[in-house]
């Protein structure tokens, strides 16, 4: 492994069928007024809301409701959450939902006691918090983003046609997260597969960078193999606990910073996908899936050895009598077959993108330099056209 790094992750995890029981223990560490953050109301239908509220009340907490967090949290919703927290002098933020709820909670946490506009401060200037941060806890109901064990927070500004993520430091990471795989049983298949691809792509974004022999790559390969194997099982049987538990655990380790250590990391698929999402408001994992293959086929010649390794290690491509180019291309074809098998969308036009949006999406795509090829705006445009 090359380079020097520091690793520390302060989030405590509770995993398994009985993990919600530990919420009672954790709540004793925080103040009286809890802002209960959730999405469109599915947790009220499946009973999770009632279980959480019961535990909050048993601990004498004052509950401040903050529902309606959308799949791509908007800056307007963020402003509303800040208002709720300020008016009620909230002590603790409890996100019950998927990654969007966790992301949103973190954005609220760093903004309540800050007088500056959080959009400008965190998402345009990428500054760090300079005010007191309200602690966050998560009860996860969807596997995908890894937001339960990292400092990431993605917010969408529709008026500016921007969807931007800020990765905050240790002080913003959830203090604890509760992961019960059974809470993901009732997810619609579309959300399940979107989450699965989000996990897989998080791993790819870190894997497709660097040329040294790095233990992080071996860890990444193990995670990818698990995700692929479990994805077939969960599509066949949505209540397969073992498959759901493996997917949930892989999601956490895919983006809790561990497998990034010693890596430069890429993240251009996310930049492309988030720009598409800013224009279409499509589900995050689906936007990633729709731009991935055109991007990877474009950069493959610049990271050929790694793409050939990806083909043989993850997709079991036999390299005998094949060039690295042939092996790598066969690997991406195998990846495409898997994506189709589990029902992913492979074109941004199917997500609402049109040809006349391409220039705007291109302009909204941030260009990063950690992968095998630093793209030009013209190359971004060509990749997006290929994604249509």
What pLDDT does residue 225 have?
A: 98
Structure confidence at residue 41 as a pLDDT band (50, 70, 90): confident
What pLDDT does residue 123 have?
A: 97
What pLDDT does residue 64 have?
A: 98
**Mean pLDDT value across residues 347-375:** 97
Tens of pLDDT, residues 53-64: 999 999 999 999
**Mean pLDDT value across residues 60-82:** 97
The rounded percent of the chain whose pLDDT value lies above 70 is 100
Nearest-angstrom CA–CA distance, 136 and 26:
11
What pLDDT does residue 362 have?
A: 98
Question: What is the value of pTM for the model shown?
Answer: 0.96
On whether the CB atoms of residues 355 and 347 are closer than 8 A, the answer is no
Structure confidence at residue 93 as a pLDDT band (50, 70, 90): very high
**Mean pLDDT value across residues 355-381:** 97
Compute the mean pLDDT over every residue in the chain, rounded to the nearest whole number.
97
Chain centre distance of CA 356: 28
What pLDDT does residue 3 have?
A: 78
What pLDDT does residue 1 have?
A: 84
What pLDDT does residue 307 have?
A: 98
What pLDDT does residue 169 have?
A: 95
**Mean pLDDT value across residues 108-135:** 97
What pLDDT does residue 114 have?
A: 95
**Mean pLDDT value across residues 88-106:** 98
- SS3 sequence of the chain: CCCCCCCCCCCEEEECCCHHHHHHHHHCCCCCEEEEECCCCHHHHCCHHHHHHHHHHHCCCEEEEECCCCCCCEHHHHHHHHHHHHHCCCCEEEEEECHHHHHHHHHHHCCCCCCCCHHHHHHHCCCCCCCCCCCEEEEECCCCCCHHHCCEEEEEECCCCEEEEEECCHHHCCCEEEECHHHHCCCCHHHHHHHHHHHHHHHHHHHCCCCCCCHHHHHHHHHHHHHHHHHHHHHHCCCCHHHHHHHHHHHHHHCCCHHHCCCCCCCHHHHHHHHHHHHHCCCHHHHHHHHHHHHHHHHHHHHHHHHHHHHHHHCCCCCCCCCHHHHHHHHHHHHHHHHHHCCCCCCHHHHCCCHHHHHHHHHHCCCCCCCCCCCCHHHHHHHHHHHC
What pLDDT does residue 314 have?
A: 98
What pLDDT does residue 156 have?
A: 96
Residue with tokens 């983006």: 255
**Mean pLDDT value across residues 353-382:** 97
Whether the pLDDT of residue 126 is over 90: the answer is: yes
Whether the pLDDT of residue 2 is over 90: the answer is: no
Whether the pLDDT of residue 75 is over 90: the answer is: yes
**Mean pLDDT value across residues 169-188:** 97
Tens of pLDDT, residues 213-265: 999 999 999 999 999 999 999 999 999 999 999 999 999 999 999 999 999 99
């Amino acid at each position: 492994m090359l380079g020097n790094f520091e690793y520390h992750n302060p989030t405590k995890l509770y995993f398994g069928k009985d993990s919600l029981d530990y919420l009672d223990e954790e709540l004793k560490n925080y103040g009286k007024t809890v802002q209960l953050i959730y999405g469109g109301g599915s947790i009220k239908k499946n009973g999770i809301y009632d279980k959480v509220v019961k535990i909050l009340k048993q601990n004498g907490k004052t509950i401040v409701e903050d529902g309606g967090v959308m799949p791509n949290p908007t800056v307007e919703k963020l402003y509303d959450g800040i208002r709720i927290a300020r008016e009620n002098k909230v002590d603790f933020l409890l996100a019950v939902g998927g990654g969007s709820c966790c992301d949103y909670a973190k954005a609220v946490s760093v903004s309540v006691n800050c007088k500056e506009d959080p959009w400008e401060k965190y998402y345009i200037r990428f500054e760090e918090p300079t005010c007191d941060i309200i602690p966050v806890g998560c009860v996860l109901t969807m596997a995908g983003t890894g937001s339960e064990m990292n400092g990431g927070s993605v917010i969408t500004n529709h008026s500016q046609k921007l969807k931007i993520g800020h990765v905050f430091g240790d002080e913003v990471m959830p203090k604890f997260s509760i992961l019960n795989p059974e809470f993901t049983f009732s997810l619609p298949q579309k959300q399940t597969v979107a989450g699965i691809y989000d996990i897989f792509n998080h791993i790819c974004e870190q894997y497709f960078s660097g040329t040294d022999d790095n233990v992080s790559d071996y860890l990444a390969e193990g995670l990818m193999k698990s995700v692929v194997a479990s994805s077939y099982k969960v599509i066949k049987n949505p209540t397969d606990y073992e498959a759901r538990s493996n997917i949930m655990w892989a999601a956490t380790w895919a983006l809790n910073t561990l497998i990034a250590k010693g890596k430069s990391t890429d993240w251009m698929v996310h930049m492309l996908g988030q720009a598409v999402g800013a224009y279409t408001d499509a589900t995050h994992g689906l936007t990633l899936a729709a731009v991935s293959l055109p991007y990877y086929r474009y950069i493959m010649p610049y990271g050929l050895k790694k793409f050939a390794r990806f083909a043989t290690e993850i997709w079991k491509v036999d390299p005998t009598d094949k060039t690295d180019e042939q092996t790598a291309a066969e690997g991406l074809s195998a990846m495409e077959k898997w994506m189709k098998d589990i029902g992913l969308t492979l074109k941004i036009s199917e997500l609402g993108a049109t040809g006349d949006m391409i220039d705007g999406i291109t302009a909204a795509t941030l260009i990063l330099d950690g992968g095998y090829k630093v793209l030009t705006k013209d190359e971004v445009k060509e990749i997006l056209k290929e994604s249509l």
